[in-house]
Each structure stands twice: as C-alpha cells, then as structure tokens.
Amino acid sequence: MRSTFLILVLLLAAMPAPAQTLSLGSVEIVQEVGGKRIAFPIDLSFAVQTTSTNVRLSVFTDMSLANLQSNFDGLVKSFPTPRDNCAKYAAGNIVAGVERASLTADGNRAVVRVKAGVAVWDCREGLPSVTVRWKRPCRWCPKIPQFTTHRGSDIKNRLWQDDVDGSFALSLRSPDGKSIELTPSNVEVSPRSDPAKFLNNIAEFFGSGLSVMARQEVQKLVNDGVLRQALPPQLAPYNPAISEASFFTAPDGSLHARVGFVAELTGEQLGDMLREVLTRKP
C-alpha cells in the first residue's frame, strides 16, 4: 500500500481538478476488549487538494465497531457492580447486577442501553453485646469481672427491588485537532416501579458507575493513538491534525467511527515523496 499511496498522491496533486476521495483499501487493528483480543477492520480513503502554495492531503479512517457491539453484553456484565448491602450505615445502599446490555447506532451517536436488577437497602449498626469473665488477678486475690464488648450484627432491611433500564448516548469529537473525545449525554433511568426517594441513588449507579466504565472501553478503541496506527506511514513526519470525528450508522445498521486526518505539504515535501518513488528498488 505504501508505493500505491505515494503514486496516487502524486498523480492527484498534479491534477487541477477538485479534490476527489479514493480508496486505500482496508487494514485491521487488534485490540483487547474485556480480556479478549478482537480485530477491528478500518477502511481507508484519501483526498488531495492543491492550492497555489501547498498540497492538502486528507486521509479518512472508517472503523467498524460491529465486533464491539457483538461483545458488548459480555463486556458490561464483567464490570464490577455494587454488592455490599451495608456499605454505609444509612438508607440507599445499592446492590445491582447487569442482566443485559447493548451498544447500537443512532445516526451520529452511539447509544448504550443497560437493564439491571437493582435493590436498595437500609443498614444500621447493631447494638453491641457484652460478655463477662471472672478472673482472679493473683492466687490469693478474689475474682473480679472482666467485661468484653462485641460488635453487634448489622441490622439490614431491603427497601426496594426491581428491574431498571438505563441508557445514554455518546458523541465523538475532536476538541483541539490533536485528540478525540467521547461526549456523553445525561443518563436516562426508567425503573419499572416507583423507587420513591432512592431514584438519585439508582441514577448515580448508572451515571457514575456503568456509564463511565462503558465510555472508557469505547475510548480505548476510538482514540487518535489507535487510529493513527492505520494511517500510511508516509504521513507520520507531517504530524497530521484531526479534521473531523464522528460516529455514523452504516447501511447494515452497525456502528462505525469516522475520523479524518489532514496534513499540509509544501512543494518541496511533495518532491521528497516523488524522489522516494523514483529511487525505490523493485
């Protein structure tokens, strides 16, 4: 692909016509997801636009996240969830387990949906108990009592239990042309029954727990470090900036991430590329 890329760049740069987008084929990036190594195909395309002073070279990466979607349920089920019904002496202790999870495409957003079984517990410190042992401090002394205080058993009451549906969306953007970030929407929580005053506790479990972990897993795949690995190596010396970043829905309904990289080359730099082609041994 290296020689083909250089030749196409030089041919398009010599043409006065408006920029056209041409395919560079596909590559695969293998990443670890939930302890499993999974391949993610990336389609590459590029466009060249010439001006009076330089050549603008754009390369677009189209990363299919279908394999992440098919493994997403097991991934989210592997996340740690709260299991301690007496994490604090108060009402509102959450115990939860994920029943199913999905990652879907919705236009230019990725949507995470999770169904979890959730219980809310009240926990109070139990009353201590005291035991008495009579002990003689010396051979001729009378016995005296020794008191030992034991921590009482915690008093636990389940206040509410039901299934809860939670969802949030992720958008993709580049804030500075150097990095890629995921922007989450607010988490929407829909309990099957009324949890009364514990709705905020449940929302916190989804919002600061599951949503953060899910976002981190997607960010491991869709970031500039991973996607730059797929770029033609000739671009690296020119430190291409990120020109665009977004999710999109493929024709088959699967989720994809599209990220564009752009580099400005001078005529001298383009000449260096030409010399590399002409001096390359067959």
Read off the pLDDT of each residue in 176-205 and give the average, rounded to a whole number: 87
Lowest mean pLDDT among 111-115, 118-122, 206-210, 271-275: 271-275
- The contacts of residue 178 (CB under 8 Å, 6+ apart) are 224, 241, 242
> In this model, does residue 6 exceed pLDDT 70?
no
pLDDT: is 225 or 66 the higher one?
66
Q: What is the pLDDT of residue 275?
A: 64
Quote the mean pLDDT of the chain. 86
pLDDT > 70 fraction of the chain, expressed in percent and rounded: 88
> In this model, does residue 251 exceed pLDDT 80?
yes
Read off the pLDDT of each residue in 243-267 and give the average, rounded to a whole number: 93
Read off the pLDDT of each residue in 53-64 and give the average, rounded to a whole number: 88
Binned at pLDDT 50, 70 and 90, residue 278 comes out as low
Q: Which two tokens stand for residue 65?
A: 């996240």
Strand intervals (E) in 214-282:
241-249, 255-266
Read off the pLDDT of each residue in 79-94 and give the average, rounded to a whole number: 94
Q: What's the order of all strands across the beta sheet hosting 54-64?
A: 21-33, 36-50, 54-64, 255-266, 241-249
Binned at pLDDT 50, 70 and 90, residue 84 comes out as very high
Read off the pLDDT of each residue in 72-80 and give the average, rounded to a whole number: 94
> In this model, does residue 100 exceed pLDDT 80?
yes
> In this model, does residue 225 exceed pLDDT 80?
yes
> In this model, does residue 2 exceed pLDDT 50?
no
Read off the pLDDT of each residue in 83-96 and give the average, rounded to a whole number: 94
Q: Name the residue among 260, 206, 257, 263 with its Cα closest to residue 31.
A: 257
Binned at pLDDT 50, 70 and 90, residue 7 comes out as very low
Distance CA 114, CA 98 (A): 7
Instruction: Establish how many alpha carbons lie within 13 A of residue 198's alpha carbon, considering only the half-sphere containing its beta carbon.
Output: 23
Read off the pLDDT of each residue in 21-27 and give the average, rounded to a whole number: 86
Distance CA 82, CA 118 (A): 10
> In this model, does residue 5 exceed pLDDT 80?
no
Strands 54-64 and 188-191, sheet pairing: unpaired
